[in-house]
């Protein structure tokens, strides 16, 4: 006799690979992805029949997330490290979540650097105008004037000597990460294609081969002879 058992603590975990017709943006990733790892946790129930347990997932999952190949590898190999790995929430309590926006990191760094340079240029221009005005009016530099000029110069020195080299280092680090992600995406795509080809080849090899026409005629004649006998 079959028995179905349900409980609030019962859940199923599914991990699979999917492919997007376009390129999908993922949280924490600097490229768009074609091959994605999906993780889904759904409410579950158990059927007990013929002394055997069978487990099934409900249609509406509690939560579903998408990850890149790199994020999935990092998640399963970096236990108890930091705050975890960034993932993209795609469904929550059966409801679809708005797609993740994409941020071009190269463009983002360029805009940030441009803003920093514009601010630095503005400060230098203001200080230069103040100094020119003092010189043209032949006024004596007050303590406040000297402090303002020195403050601006010190800020420029700090930007050129510390902040910009750090920004350049972060840019190189981000580009290295982007290249690594792109390589993983290409390798994953090639692996998926190779697996598809291998499965198709295995399927064809298991199909029964058609007999040549001569053999078919002999087999038919043999069947007729056997039938006649």
Span 32-82, pLDDT tens digits: 888 888 999 999 999 988 878 889 898 889 999 999 888 888 888 888 888
Which among 196, 29, 19 is positioned nearest to 102, based on CA atoms? 29
Which among 170, 168, 166, 190 is positioned nearest to 178, based on CA atoms? 170
Q: Which two tokens stand for residue 12?
A: 């199923």
Q: At 193, is the pLDDT very low, low, confident or very high (cuts 50, 70, 90)?
A: low
Please tell me the distance from the alpha carbon of residue 152 to that of residue 125, in angstroms, as a whole number. Answer: 10
Calculated CA dihedral for residues 205, 208, 210, 212, nearest 10 degrees: 90
Among 31-40, 187-196, 220-229, which stretch is predicted with the lowest mean pLDDT?
Answer: 220-229
Pairing, β 95-96 against β 63-67: unpaired
At residue 219, the pLDDT reads: 47
Angle 150-153-157 (CA atoms, 0-180°, nearest 5)? 135
Domain ranges of the chain: 3-96, 105-203
Angle 158-175-37 (CA atoms, 0-180°, nearest 5)? 135
**Secondary structure of residue 68 in the 3-state scheme:** coil
b/e code 46-67 from CB counts within 10 Å (16+ = b): eeeeeeeeeeebeeebebbbbb
**Total-model pTM:** 0.55
Q: Residues near 160 by Cβ (< 8 Å), separated by ≥ 6?
A: none
What are 114-126's pLDDT values in tens digits?
888 788 778 778 7
Q: At 12, is the pLDDT very low, low, confident or very high (cuts 50, 70, 90)?
A: very high
Please tell me the distance from the alpha carbon of residue 189 to that of residue 36, in angstroms, as a whole number. Answer: 10
Segment of 19-28, 42-51, 196-205 carrying the highest mean pLDDT: 42-51
The yes-or-no verdict on residue 9 having pLDDT over 90 is yes
């Amino acid at each position: 006799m079959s028995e179905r058992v349900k409980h609030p603590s019962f859940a199923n975990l599914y991990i699979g690979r999917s492919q997007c017709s376009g390129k999908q943006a993922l949280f924490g990733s600097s490229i768009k992805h074609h091959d994605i790892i999906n993780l889904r946790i759904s409410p579950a129930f158990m059927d007990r029949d013929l002394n055997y347990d069978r487990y099934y997932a409900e249609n509406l999952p509690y939560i579903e997330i998408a990850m890149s190949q790199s994020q999935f590898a990092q998640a399963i190999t970096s236990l108890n490290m930091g705050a975890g790995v960034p993932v993209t929430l795609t469904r929550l309590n059966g409801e679809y979540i708005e797609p993740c926006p994409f941020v071009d990191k190269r463009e983002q760094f360029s805009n940030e650097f441009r803003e920093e340079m514009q601010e630095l240029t503005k400060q230098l221009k203001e200080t230069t105008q103040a100094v020119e005005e003092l010189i043209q009016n032949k006024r004596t530099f007050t303590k406040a004037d000297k402090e303002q000029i020195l403050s601006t110069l010190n800020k420029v020195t700090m930007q050129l000597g510390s902040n910009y080299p750090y920004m350049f280092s972060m840019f190189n680090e981000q580009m290295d990460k982007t290249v690594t992600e792109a390589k993983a995406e290409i390798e994953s795509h090639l692996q998926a294609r190779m697996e598809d080809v291998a499965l198709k080849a295995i399927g064809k090899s298991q199909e029964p081969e058609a007999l040549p026409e001569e053999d078919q005629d002999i087999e038919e004649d043999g069947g007729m002879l056997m039938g006649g006998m």
